[in-house]
Amino acid sequence: MEERRQSERIQARLQARWETDSGVVDGTIINCSVHGCFVLGEVEEPGNDPVKLTVKLPNGSSLLLLGTVAFHLPTLGFGLHFIYPSDEYKAMLDRWRVYVEAEKSAVPPISNPPMISAI
């Protein structure tokens, strides 16, 4: 399978809550980059609408990010590609990038993230 990612991923374990037209759901970000993340959590097909993702950082602050679903793994989670349609989201994404870049120096990047398989 050809690698489509534009930037290195790092392992993470961040609490997240996402919101779509069908409701609000809690999950966990298990890997991330400056451009996106994988959110672990049971979710129905999220559709094509943007997803609002609230991420709780280790320092207790939260970020509100907006993204589009890149792929969906039923009952496991989804990959999210971040977008920034307004200055508000761009400012939050800038804060996210600062967090990820700082974590890169502390956590080795994932060269090929393992696929999650259902057991």
- CATH code at 21? 2.40.10.220
Residue 113 falls inside a structural domain: no
| Residue found under tokens 């993204």 | 67
26: helix, strand or coil: strand
Question: Domain residues for 74?
Answer: 9-106
Residue 48 falls inside a structural domain: yes
- Across all residues in the chain, what is the average pLDDT? 83
Confidence of residue 79 (pLDDT cuts 50, 70, 90): very high
Confidence of residue 118 (pLDDT cuts 50, 70, 90): very low
DSSP assignment letter at 83: E
For the chain, what is the domain count?
Answer: 1
Residue 34 and residue 8: Cα distance in Å, rounded? 8
Residue 43 falls inside a structural domain: yes
Cβ contacts of 23 within 8 Å, gap of 6 or more: none
